[in-house]
Structure 1
Amino acid sequence: MSDEHLKFVTAIEEFDIRSIMERYGEDVWNYAFFLTRRRDWADDISQDVFVKAYRGIDSFRGQSSLKTWLLRITRNTAFSYRKLAFFRRTVGLEFGRSKDARPSAENEYIAKSYADDIWSCVMRLPDKYRETLVLSAHYGMQAEEIARHLGVAIGTVKSRLHRARARLADMMGRKSQDDDE
Protein backbone atom coordinates (compact mmCIF):
# COMPACT_ATOMS: atom_id res chain seq x y z
CA MET A 1 0.00 0.00 0.00
CA SER A 2 1.37 3.39 -1.00
CA ASP A 3 0.96 6.44 1.22
CA GLU A 4 0.49 8.54 -1.93
CA HIS A 5 -3.09 7.41 -2.49
CA LEU A 6 -4.07 8.62 0.99
CA LYS A 7 -3.82 12.25 -0.21
CA PHE A 8 -7.09 11.73 -2.04
CA VAL A 9 -8.86 9.54 0.49
CA THR A 10 -11.58 10.94 2.73
CA ALA A 11 -12.13 7.75 4.74
CA ILE A 12 -9.95 4.80 5.67
CA GLU A 13 -11.37 1.37 5.06
CA GLU A 14 -10.96 -1.35 7.67
CA PHE A 15 -8.25 -3.03 5.58
CA ASP A 16 -6.27 0.19 5.24
CA ILE A 17 -6.29 1.04 8.94
CA ARG A 18 -5.18 -2.48 9.80
CA SER A 19 -2.25 -2.31 7.36
CA ILE A 20 -1.35 1.18 8.60
CA MET A 21 -1.35 -0.08 12.18
CA GLU A 22 0.81 -3.08 11.25
CA ARG A 23 3.23 -0.89 9.33
CA TYR A 24 3.56 2.02 11.78
CA GLY A 25 2.27 0.68 15.10
CA GLU A 26 5.68 -0.05 16.56
CA ASP A 27 7.04 3.37 15.57
CA VAL A 28 4.03 5.12 17.09
CA TRP A 29 4.28 3.12 20.32
CA ASN A 30 8.04 3.65 20.64
CA TYR A 31 7.70 7.39 20.09
CA ALA A 32 4.87 7.59 22.63
CA PHE A 33 7.05 5.72 25.12
CA PHE A 34 9.99 8.07 24.58
CA LEU A 35 7.74 11.06 25.14
CA THR A 36 5.98 9.74 28.26
CA ARG A 37 8.41 7.18 29.69
CA ARG A 38 5.42 5.00 30.57
CA ARG A 39 4.57 1.73 28.85
CA ASP A 40 0.90 1.84 29.83
CA TRP A 41 0.50 5.38 28.52
CA ALA A 42 2.31 4.45 25.32
CA ASP A 43 -0.29 1.70 24.84
CA ASP A 44 -3.17 4.15 25.37
CA ILE A 45 -1.61 6.87 23.23
CA SER A 46 -0.96 4.42 20.38
CA GLN A 47 -4.60 3.39 20.37
CA ASP A 48 -5.70 7.02 20.45
CA VAL A 49 -3.39 7.89 17.57
CA PHE A 50 -4.91 5.30 15.26
CA VAL A 51 -8.44 6.25 16.26
CA LYS A 52 -7.59 9.89 15.49
CA ALA A 53 -6.00 8.88 12.19
CA TYR A 54 -9.07 6.85 11.30
CA ARG A 55 -11.41 9.72 12.11
CA GLY A 56 -9.21 12.47 10.68
CA ILE A 57 -7.87 10.98 7.45
CA ASP A 58 -9.44 13.87 5.57
CA SER A 59 -6.94 16.19 7.29
CA PHE A 60 -3.98 14.27 5.80
CA ARG A 61 -2.86 16.49 2.92
CA GLY A 62 0.14 14.47 1.82
CA GLN A 63 2.59 17.29 2.53
CA SER A 64 4.58 14.84 4.63
CA SER A 65 4.82 11.08 4.78
CA LEU A 66 2.08 9.13 6.53
CA LYS A 67 4.63 8.13 9.16
CA THR A 68 5.45 11.78 9.88
CA TRP A 69 1.73 12.61 10.11
CA LEU A 70 1.19 9.75 12.57
CA LEU A 71 4.20 10.80 14.64
CA ARG A 72 2.82 14.35 14.77
CA ILE A 73 -0.51 12.98 16.06
CA THR A 74 1.46 10.87 18.55
CA ARG A 75 3.37 13.91 19.79
CA ASN A 76 0.23 16.01 20.21
CA THR A 77 -1.61 13.17 21.94
CA ALA A 78 1.32 12.54 24.29
CA PHE A 79 1.47 16.22 25.19
CA SER A 80 -2.24 16.14 25.94
CA TYR A 81 -1.64 13.21 28.29
CA ARG A 82 1.14 15.14 29.98
CA LYS A 83 -1.20 18.02 30.68
CA LEU A 84 -3.66 15.83 32.52
CA ALA A 85 -3.56 16.00 36.30
CA PHE A 86 -2.79 12.33 36.78
CA PHE A 87 0.38 12.72 34.73
CA ARG A 88 1.75 15.21 37.23
CA ARG A 89 1.38 12.61 39.97
CA THR A 90 3.64 10.14 38.16
CA VAL A 91 5.70 7.81 40.27
CA GLY A 92 8.71 7.85 37.94
CA LEU A 93 10.27 5.91 35.17
CA GLU A 94 8.90 2.49 34.46
CA PHE A 95 11.79 1.58 32.25
CA GLY A 96 11.88 -2.13 32.98
CA ARG A 97 13.35 -4.92 31.00
CA SER A 98 11.32 -7.17 28.76
CA LYS A 99 10.25 -10.37 30.48
CA ASP A 100 10.95 -12.38 27.32
CA ALA A 101 14.53 -11.15 26.94
CA ARG A 102 16.88 -13.90 28.10
CA PRO A 103 20.39 -13.62 26.68
CA SER A 104 21.68 -16.95 25.53
CA ALA A 105 25.32 -15.96 25.24
CA GLU A 106 27.79 -13.62 26.90
CA ASN A 107 28.04 -11.38 23.83
CA GLU A 108 24.30 -10.90 23.70
CA TYR A 109 24.31 -9.97 27.36
CA ILE A 110 27.12 -7.45 26.92
CA ALA A 111 25.46 -5.91 23.85
CA LYS A 112 22.12 -5.64 25.63
CA SER A 113 23.73 -4.19 28.72
CA TYR A 114 25.50 -1.56 26.61
CA ALA A 115 22.28 -0.72 24.73
CA ASP A 116 20.44 -0.40 28.05
CA ASP A 117 23.14 1.96 29.31
CA ILE A 118 22.82 4.11 26.18
CA TRP A 119 19.02 4.27 26.37
CA SER A 120 19.19 5.00 30.08
CA CYS A 121 21.41 7.99 29.29
CA VAL A 122 19.14 9.05 26.41
CA MET A 123 16.15 8.97 28.75
CA ARG A 124 17.97 11.31 31.17
CA LEU A 125 18.44 13.97 28.49
CA PRO A 126 16.15 17.01 28.69
CA ASP A 127 12.94 16.46 26.72
CA LYS A 128 13.81 18.79 23.85
CA TYR A 129 17.18 17.10 23.26
CA ARG A 130 15.90 13.56 23.75
CA GLU A 131 13.00 14.04 21.36
CA THR A 132 15.17 15.59 18.64
CA LEU A 133 17.81 12.88 19.00
CA VAL A 134 15.26 10.04 18.90
CA LEU A 135 13.54 11.49 15.82
CA SER A 136 16.89 11.68 14.06
CA ALA A 137 18.65 8.52 15.22
CA HIS A 138 15.77 6.11 15.73
CA TYR A 139 13.23 7.30 13.17
CA GLY A 140 15.73 8.50 10.55
CA MET A 141 14.10 11.88 10.07
CA GLN A 142 16.14 14.62 8.39
CA ALA A 143 16.70 17.97 10.14
CA GLU A 144 14.20 19.75 7.89
CA GLU A 145 11.51 17.19 8.64
CA ILE A 146 12.24 17.33 12.37
CA ALA A 147 11.99 21.13 12.27
CA ARG A 148 8.55 20.94 10.63
CA HIS A 149 7.46 18.19 13.02
CA LEU A 150 8.47 20.12 16.14
CA GLY A 151 7.55 23.54 14.78
CA VAL A 152 11.03 25.00 15.31
CA ALA A 153 13.72 26.46 13.06
CA ILE A 154 16.16 24.10 11.34
CA GLY A 155 19.04 25.79 13.18
CA THR A 156 17.35 24.91 16.46
CA VAL A 157 17.15 21.26 15.40
CA LYS A 158 20.82 21.19 14.46
CA SER A 159 21.77 22.86 17.73
CA ARG A 160 19.65 20.43 19.76
CA LEU A 161 21.14 17.44 17.94
CA HIS A 162 24.66 18.69 18.56
CA ARG A 163 23.98 19.35 22.25
CA ALA A 164 22.14 16.06 22.72
CA ARG A 165 25.03 14.10 21.21
CA ALA A 166 27.57 16.02 23.29
CA ARG A 167 25.64 15.42 26.52
CA LEU A 168 25.14 11.76 25.66
CA ALA A 169 28.87 11.32 24.94
CA ASP A 170 29.68 13.06 28.22
CA MET A 171 27.27 10.85 30.18
CA MET A 172 28.62 7.70 28.54
CA GLY A 173 32.21 8.83 29.19
CA ARG A 174 31.47 9.44 32.86
CA LYS A 175 29.69 6.06 33.08
CA SER A 176 32.67 4.20 31.64
CA GLN A 177 35.02 6.04 34.04
CA ASP A 178 32.78 5.04 36.94
CA ASP A 179 32.87 1.44 35.76
CA ASP A 180 36.67 1.46 35.55
CA GLU A 181 37.08 2.52 39.20
Structure 2
Amino acid sequence: MQHSAELKTSDIRMLMESYGEDVWNYAYVITRNTHTADDVAQDVFIKAYQHIASFRGEASVKTWLLKITRNTALSYLRRAFLRRVVLIGEPSPGTGQNGTMRTSSSPSAESEYMERAEADELWKQVLKLPAKFRDPLVLCLHHQLSIDEISAITGLSPGTVKSRIYRAKQKVAAAWKGAIEDE
Protein backbone atom coordinates (compact mmCIF):
# COMPACT_ATOMS: atom_id res chain seq x y z
CA MET A 1 0.00 0.00 0.00
CA GLN A 2 1.16 3.51 -0.72
CA HIS A 3 2.03 5.84 2.16
CA SER A 4 1.89 9.06 0.20
CA ALA A 5 -0.56 11.59 -1.11
CA GLU A 6 -1.39 9.10 -3.87
CA LEU A 7 -3.37 6.92 -1.47
CA LYS A 8 -6.15 5.39 -3.55
CA THR A 9 -9.73 4.57 -2.68
CA SER A 10 -8.98 0.93 -3.45
CA ASP A 11 -6.63 0.96 -0.46
CA ILE A 12 -9.53 1.32 2.03
CA ARG A 13 -9.97 -2.46 2.30
CA MET A 14 -6.26 -2.83 2.99
CA LEU A 15 -6.47 -0.02 5.55
CA MET A 16 -9.29 -1.83 7.32
CA GLU A 17 -7.41 -5.12 7.29
CA SER A 18 -4.12 -3.55 8.39
CA TYR A 19 -5.34 -1.00 10.93
CA GLY A 20 -8.87 -2.03 11.86
CA GLU A 21 -7.80 -3.64 15.13
CA ASP A 22 -5.64 -0.64 16.11
CA VAL A 23 -8.49 1.75 15.33
CA TRP A 24 -11.03 -0.32 17.28
CA ASN A 25 -8.71 -0.75 20.27
CA TYR A 26 -7.96 2.98 20.44
CA ALA A 27 -11.67 3.80 20.12
CA TYR A 28 -12.38 1.37 22.95
CA VAL A 29 -9.71 2.91 25.19
CA ILE A 30 -11.30 6.33 24.70
CA THR A 31 -14.97 5.33 24.92
CA ARG A 32 -14.72 2.26 27.20
CA ASN A 33 -17.70 0.76 25.39
CA THR A 34 -17.57 -2.05 22.83
CA HIS A 35 -20.66 -0.90 20.92
CA THR A 36 -19.43 2.68 20.72
CA ALA A 37 -15.98 1.46 19.66
CA ASP A 38 -17.65 -0.52 16.85
CA ASP A 39 -19.51 2.61 15.70
CA VAL A 40 -16.42 4.79 15.96
CA ALA A 41 -14.26 2.33 14.01
CA GLN A 42 -16.86 2.13 11.25
CA ASP A 43 -17.11 5.94 11.09
CA VAL A 44 -13.32 6.27 10.99
CA PHE A 45 -13.07 4.23 7.81
CA ILE A 46 -16.04 6.06 6.26
CA LYS A 47 -14.30 9.37 7.04
CA ALA A 48 -11.00 8.03 5.71
CA TYR A 49 -12.76 7.05 2.48
CA GLN A 50 -14.48 10.44 2.21
CA HIS A 51 -11.31 12.41 2.96
CA ILE A 52 -8.70 10.23 1.31
CA ALA A 53 -7.78 13.10 -1.02
CA SER A 54 -6.83 15.25 1.98
CA PHE A 55 -4.23 12.75 3.19
CA ARG A 56 -0.95 14.55 2.50
CA GLY A 57 1.48 11.88 3.61
CA GLU A 58 3.01 14.13 6.27
CA ALA A 59 2.38 11.39 8.85
CA SER A 60 2.02 7.66 8.52
CA VAL A 61 -1.34 6.24 7.48
CA LYS A 62 -1.65 4.70 10.95
CA THR A 63 -1.10 8.08 12.62
CA TRP A 64 -3.66 9.68 10.29
CA LEU A 65 -6.24 6.99 11.08
CA LEU A 66 -5.61 7.19 14.83
CA LYS A 67 -6.06 10.96 14.73
CA ILE A 68 -9.40 10.46 12.96
CA THR A 69 -10.22 7.80 15.58
CA ARG A 70 -9.46 10.14 18.46
CA ASN A 71 -11.52 12.99 17.03
CA THR A 72 -14.43 10.70 16.19
CA ALA A 73 -14.42 9.00 19.61
CA LEU A 74 -14.27 12.32 21.45
CA SER A 75 -17.15 13.58 19.32
CA TYR A 76 -19.18 10.49 20.31
CA LEU A 77 -18.41 11.15 23.98
CA ARG A 78 -19.46 14.80 23.68
CA ARG A 79 -22.76 13.73 22.12
CA ALA A 80 -23.25 11.13 24.86
CA PHE A 81 -22.52 13.79 27.50
CA LEU A 82 -25.03 16.11 25.84
CA ARG A 83 -27.71 13.40 25.91
CA ARG A 84 -27.06 12.49 29.56
CA VAL A 85 -27.19 16.10 30.76
CA VAL A 86 -30.14 17.33 28.73
CA LEU A 87 -32.35 14.27 28.56
CA ILE A 88 -33.98 14.08 31.94
CA GLY A 89 -37.25 12.86 30.55
CA GLU A 90 -38.19 14.92 27.54
CA PRO A 91 -36.50 14.88 24.16
CA SER A 92 -34.44 17.90 23.23
CA PRO A 93 -33.99 19.34 19.75
CA GLY A 94 -32.11 16.87 17.56
CA THR A 95 -33.38 13.83 19.42
CA GLY A 96 -35.89 11.23 18.42
CA GLN A 97 -39.05 10.23 20.26
CA ASN A 98 -37.18 7.80 22.50
CA GLY A 99 -34.57 10.41 23.44
CA THR A 100 -31.81 9.05 21.23
CA MET A 101 -29.86 11.29 18.93
CA ARG A 102 -31.01 11.21 15.32
CA THR A 103 -27.98 10.47 13.25
CA SER A 104 -27.30 9.67 9.65
CA SER A 105 -24.32 7.80 8.33
CA SER A 106 -22.88 11.08 7.10
CA PRO A 107 -24.11 14.17 8.96
CA SER A 108 -24.20 17.40 7.00
CA ALA A 109 -21.83 20.24 7.79
CA GLU A 110 -24.83 22.23 8.97
CA SER A 111 -25.95 19.50 11.39
CA GLU A 112 -22.41 19.08 12.72
CA TYR A 113 -22.18 22.86 13.24
CA MET A 114 -25.54 22.94 15.02
CA GLU A 115 -24.54 20.00 17.21
CA ARG A 116 -21.30 21.74 18.17
CA ALA A 117 -23.16 24.98 18.85
CA GLU A 118 -25.65 23.10 21.07
CA ALA A 119 -22.82 21.39 22.95
CA ASP A 120 -21.04 24.74 23.43
CA GLU A 121 -24.24 26.33 24.72
CA LEU A 122 -24.82 23.38 27.04
CA TRP A 123 -21.29 23.70 28.44
CA LYS A 124 -21.94 27.39 29.07
CA GLN A 125 -25.00 26.40 31.11
CA VAL A 126 -23.01 23.78 33.05
CA LEU A 127 -20.22 26.29 33.76
CA LYS A 128 -22.75 28.82 35.08
CA LEU A 129 -23.81 26.39 37.81
CA PRO A 130 -22.55 27.07 41.34
CA ALA A 131 -19.48 24.91 42.04
CA LYS A 132 -21.38 22.76 44.55
CA PHE A 133 -23.60 21.53 41.68
CA ARG A 134 -21.19 21.85 38.76
CA ASP A 135 -18.35 19.77 40.21
CA PRO A 136 -20.32 16.59 40.99
CA LEU A 137 -22.12 16.83 37.61
CA VAL A 138 -18.90 17.12 35.62
CA LEU A 139 -17.19 14.36 37.63
CA CYS A 140 -20.17 12.08 37.02
CA LEU A 141 -21.00 12.76 33.41
CA HIS A 142 -17.79 13.94 31.83
CA HIS A 143 -15.27 11.92 33.83
CA GLN A 144 -17.70 9.00 34.35
CA LEU A 145 -16.86 8.56 38.03
CA SER A 146 -19.11 6.59 40.36
CA ILE A 147 -21.03 8.21 43.22
CA ASP A 148 -18.54 6.71 45.68
CA GLU A 149 -15.55 8.07 43.74
CA ILE A 150 -17.13 11.53 43.60
CA SER A 151 -17.89 11.27 47.31
CA ALA A 152 -14.24 10.45 48.04
CA ILE A 153 -13.01 13.37 45.91
CA THR A 154 -15.44 15.98 47.23
CA GLY A 155 -15.75 14.79 50.83
CA LEU A 156 -19.55 14.78 50.47
CA SER A 157 -21.76 11.88 51.50
CA PRO A 158 -22.99 9.67 48.63
CA GLY A 159 -26.56 10.87 49.26
CA THR A 160 -25.48 14.51 48.94
CA VAL A 161 -23.58 13.72 45.74
CA LYS A 162 -26.67 12.05 44.22
CA SER A 163 -28.86 14.97 45.26
CA ARG A 164 -26.50 17.57 43.82
CA ILE A 165 -26.15 15.72 40.52
CA TYR A 166 -29.93 15.45 40.25
CA ARG A 167 -30.41 19.14 41.09
CA ALA A 168 -27.62 20.16 38.69
CA LYS A 169 -29.32 18.25 35.87
CA GLN A 170 -32.61 19.97 36.69
CA LYS A 171 -30.94 23.40 36.66
CA VAL A 172 -29.14 22.75 33.36
CA ALA A 173 -32.29 21.34 31.75
CA ALA A 174 -34.33 24.36 32.90
CA ALA A 175 -31.68 26.80 31.65
CA TRP A 176 -31.38 24.85 28.39
CA LYS A 177 -35.15 24.87 27.90
CA GLY A 178 -35.21 28.62 28.63
CA ALA A 179 -32.42 29.26 26.13
CA ILE A 180 -34.29 27.31 23.44
CA GLU A 181 -37.54 29.17 24.14
CA ASP A 182 -35.72 32.52 23.88
CA GLU A 183 -34.68 31.73 20.30
**TM-score between both structures, scaled by the size of structure 1:** 0.44
Larger radius of gyration: 2
